[in-house]
Structure 1
Amino acid sequence: MKEIKQIIKAYDQANSQGKRTALATVVHVEGSSYRRPGARMLITEDGELTGAISGGCLEGDALRKSLLVIMQDHPMLVTYDTSDEDDAFIGVGLGCNGIIQVLIEPVLATVQWNPAELLRKLAEDRLPSVLVTLFSLENRRDNTQGTRLLLKENRVWSNDGDPLPFQELLYSDGKAVLEKGHAVFKTYQVESAPVNAFIEYVEPEIRLVIAGAGNDIFPVVDMAGVLGWETTLIDGRPNYASKQRFSSCNIIIGEPENALEEVETDNRTAVLLMTHNYNYDKVLIKQLLRRGVRYIGMLGPRKKRERMLEEIRKEGFPVTGTPANVFSPVGLDIGAETSEEIALSIVSEIKAVFTEKPGKSLRDSDGRIHEKGKKTYITDQNGINV
């Protein structure tokens, strides 16, 4: 989501200066690549780049092709084959062992729901979204290619292109992706040539709530900022929880009994109890358990957690054992000692929990690093698999 917001900001700046732009999107990958489908990069007519579609090896060539797209005002699908280390393509042996399809489309300010505006609508709230981008492997300069559709709950936004013969199927398939929560690739069989679709599921960024405003919070806030997480601080001490100390955070000053009243939590919210105040944490954890927050991390040893849960149990709170959403001692086991290292272990654990990963070394993992996209299947205009 951070990259999407940076692209929107860059588009607004370019548009205010009268610069034309193009959007490059990774729409399909076979094998391995540095970035997965959904990676994006905005290119201006004077060569400014925002975002990334690779680790830096494809951007130069994509820039040259984007300038052509801007001049011709026509989308283009580009294939990068990085599977051959001896390939002299664009001057380096990439060796990523993958075939990457990148769609480059012009972003026209005269189109109400152009790709940048659809991204803006996607990022304006914390609702899960589905973004549909069309591309054609058989006709790489097909004019129907591009970011065409955005779905949220029961609302749909579509760009100003001509209606597609499979438009209703797109709506239906987009709603199915929104319900299931994972991206799919589809191919629609039409009379002229098959049209491919990357139906992307996009979740809001992680919302991080930190109870505590001591000096050990600084590296956590900094790392969360780098990742683009929205961060809120809660503390009862105004001299600690201040904009002077934490300029990038939302600040809530209050007693634990009412501090969470101003905090909206959802299934993308993580809360850290780092007050170093046992009673403050105890009041908060009861409220958080009632809300069913997905991740509650608490500083301190195992004995602190066990004592706290036992006390609230005796007070009548219905909890048995250690709830699955309570992580204490907090963080991954990386041998952290300093506040910066502890922050790294905490942020890594939060990321692992929200991506449902074990947090182990990739060297020891079996299979693929990234989840493989759902299998492509072909549907004709009547919704029949062919």
Structure 2
Amino acid sequence: MKESQDIIKAYEEVKQAEAQAVLATVVKVRGSTYRRPGARMLIREDGTTVGAISSGCLEADVVERSKKIRETPEPTTVVYDMTSSDNDVWGLNLGCSGVMHILIEPIRLSVAATHLRFIGECVRSQKLGVAATVFRVDGEFKAKVGTRLLVKEDGAVAEDINNPVLSAALLEDCLRTLRSRQSVVREYRFLEGVVEAFIELICPPVPLLIFGAGPDAIPLARLAKELGWHVTLVDHRPGHATKENFPTVDALLLARPEEIADAVPLKPHAAAVIMTHNFSHDLQLLRTLLPSPVRYLGVLGPSKRTGMLLEKLREWGFTPSDKQRTRLHSPVGLNIGGESPEEIALSILAEIQAFVSGRPGGFLKDHSGPIHDSHHDC
């Protein structure tokens, strides 16, 4: 997500300067590739780039192609087949392999610009979206490469497909992707030809709620922002929850533990970390957060302390369900031997990243399957 945010920022700068730029997007892959569909790279007029589409194998060639793309109004899809024996052509000594389909388009066209604005809206509104991008048209079927259909989480649709049959098929798959939360590549066969489109799920940043504004919360908030997450810091002490201590967070909320149900947006996609170092405050926060819809709840401190918190909740008449206990992570973080606040922050964020990605968080060398999932989800 941080990469997408950097690209959106670069696009805004290009737009402000009334300059030209080109957008390269991975729309389909086969075999082992460094990046998966949805990876992007913005190329400025001077050849500098933001983002990456490979491990360095393809960027130079795409930058060279972008010079011609800027001079033409037509987007184009380039297929890089890196499975041949002539590996040196694409620099497979850098670790590239597989087949990659990359859509290259001038951003000055309204379609690509609208697409980047759409991603920016999803980021700012913390809402899901789906973008269907046509990247291959074979035969006589009336459709253009680079055209899109965009669907917001509330069902609002924008498009420039100009073909009702294709538009209906794309919309159906976009709505299906909103439900499944998985990006897919779809091929549509018509009497007049074949159309292929990338149905991309646009995910907002991970919403991270940090409860407690102690010194150990500072690196957690800073590193989370480096990942591009949306960070909210909650504490009842105005002298601690300050912009001086937390200059990068998206929101600073002053609220006591008993007030958070009304003061803090507890959304289903959010991850929450309790680190107040105060037993009574943690107790009240657990009482509110355990039955809340947040998908991940971490508590700083040893398991014995958390056991005491849960026992106290039972004395209050609240016993967490099995589902609620499953969302509870305590001690919070992966077991990486973290001691310093920065190391502990790293272990916490690594665990949350593994959790939201559906991964176990172990050593990659012990993982027998592919490093990347075949699909992208939230």
Structure 1 length as normaliser, TM-score?
A: 0.89
Mapped partners of 2:301, 2:111: distance in 1? 54
Give the one of 337, 346, 369 matched to 1:367. Answer: 369
Mapped partners of 2:32, 2:356: distance in 1? 23
Q: Match of 2:65? A: 65
CA distance 1:223–1:126, change in 2 (3 Å): same
Q: Match of 2:282? A: 281
Using the TM superposition, name which of 233-242 and 23-32 deviates more: 233-242
SS at match of 2:258: helix
Give the one of 309, 316, 338 matched to 1:336. Answer: 338
SS at match of 1:6: helix
SS at match of 2:121: helix
Mapped partners of 1:297, 1:168: distance in 2? 43
The sequence identity of aligned pairs, in percent, is 39
Q: Match of 2:31? A: 31
Q: Match of 2:296? A: 295
Q: Match of 1:198? A: 198
Mapped partners of 2:164, 2:53: distance in 1? 28
| Number of residue pairs the alignment of both structures matches | 372
Q: Match of 1:265? A: 266
SS at match of 2:193: coil
Structure 2, unaligned runs of 5 or more:
none
Query: Which letter maps to 1:366?
Result: S
Q: Deviations over 1:293-336 (max 9, x none)?
A: 21111111111111111111111113257701111111111122
CA distance 1:161–1:70, change in 2 (3 Å): farther
Query: Which letter maps to 1:226?
Result: E
Q: CA shift at 1:92, angstroms?
A: 5.9
Query: Which letter maps to 1:170?
Result: L
Query: Which letter maps to 1:97?
Result: S
SS at match of 1:329: coil
Q: CA shift at 1:231, angstroms?
A: 1.0
Structure 1, unaligned runs of 5 or more:
375-386
Q: Deviations over 1:48-84 (max 9, x none)?
A: 3222212233221111112211111211111223335
Mapped partners of 1:104, 1:93: distance in 2? 24
Q: CA shift at 1:355, angstroms?
A: 1.0
SS at match of 2:291: helix
Mapped partners of 1:188, 1:350: distance in 2? 37
Query: Which letter maps to 1:314?
Result: E
SS at match of 1:228: coil
RMSD across aligned C-alpha pairs, in angstroms?
A: 2.3
Using the TM superposition, name which of 76-85 and 264-273 deviates more: 76-85
Mapped partners of 2:314, 2:151: distance in 1? 43
* Contact 1:26–1:101 (CA under 8 A) maintained in structure 2: yes
Mapped partners of 1:217, 1:354: distance in 2? 21
Q: Match of 2:239? A: 239
Q: Match of 1:319? A: 320
Mapped partners of 1:226, 1:84: distance in 2? 38
* Contact 1:85–1:93 (CA under 8 A) maintained in structure 2: no
Q: Match of 2:136? A: 136
Alignment of 1:1-386 (within 5 A): 1-83=1-83, 87-90=87-90, 93-108=93-108, 114-136=114-136, 144-163=144-163, 165-249=165-249, 250-319=251-320, 323-373=325-375
CA distance 1:101–1:167, change in 2 (3 Å): same
Mapped partners of 1:320, 1:342: distance in 2? 28
Q: Deviations over 1:114-157 (max 9, x none)?
A: 33233333334122211111111758xx9711150111234343
* Contact 2:21–2:44 (CA under 8 A) maintained in structure 1: yes
Mapped partners of 1:227, 1:130: distance in 2? 22
Mapped partners of 2:79, 2:374: distance in 1? 19
CA distance 1:161–1:168, change in 2 (3 Å): closer
